[in-house]
Amino acid sequence: NKVEPSPEIVEELFKKLGIKYYNDAEFLDRNQEKIDRFFHNLNFYRKTNHIFKEIEEYRDNFLNSPLIIDYLLLEAYSCRNKTNIERLSELEIYMNNFQEGWFYLLKAKFISNGEENVIREWIMKSHGLLRNSFSLLTLMEFELGRGNFNKVIELGPEIINLGLIEGNAMAIANINSPLYRQKSKKENYSRIRLSNGIYIFVDCIYCKYYRI
């Protein structure tokens, strides 16, 4: 269950604590646009550091505003700040679906000592909420790192289809990325059809695809 605190009650609480609460429309609208652009760029494998730099200098303002969850997510992705995961866990009941999707992905990427099934569940939950190619590519990298090659091959067409829907050429190109990092020294390969006109040539762990 999600909790939706009354903005008036929150503002009154901050006032009693003697802390300024930044919830004016101009502040929220201006910075929500930057937050949306950050996650858009993340999904499209574009630079995000310049966006985070724009808002980082107002960190205290964000932490005392309705945008606290978004800021902590951006800070964690930008600075690989694992301490934010604990704080975000405490705020999970206040997250919307979009925030929760990126939070699950954050945990999957940066909590390396988690159980395999738990991490897989986090990624799949993230994809269920976000339905974007970034979350599905994260799942592909995860399965590849554990030698689940059949699953990797299954995910290929899904990522390509999502990339085409999004207009996300980098998502399609990045199918190669996790595979190249695991390059094998063996020379034998096999050709596997992914979908109409697309093949993967598999050299044990080393893979690439092209259209014919």
Mean pLDDT by 10 residues, the chain (212 residues): 61 65 92 97 94 95 94 93 88 94 94 85 97 94 88 87 90 67 41 46 39 35
pTM for the whole structure: 0.79
pLDDT value, residue 149: 84
pLDDT value, residue 15: 62
- 10: three-class secondary structure by DSSP: helix
Q: Report the C-alpha gap between 130 and 21 in whole angstroms.
A: 30
pLDDT value, residue 11: 62
Residue 91 DSSP label? T
C-beta separation of 104 from 88 below 8 A: no
pLDDT value, residue 133: 94
185 to each of 74, 111, 204, how far by Cα in Å? 38, 30, 9
For residue 23, what are its two tokens? 């919830």
Q: Using CB atoms within 10 Å of the CB of residue 55, give its burial: 0 to 12 exposed, 13 to 18 middle, 19+ buried.
A: buried
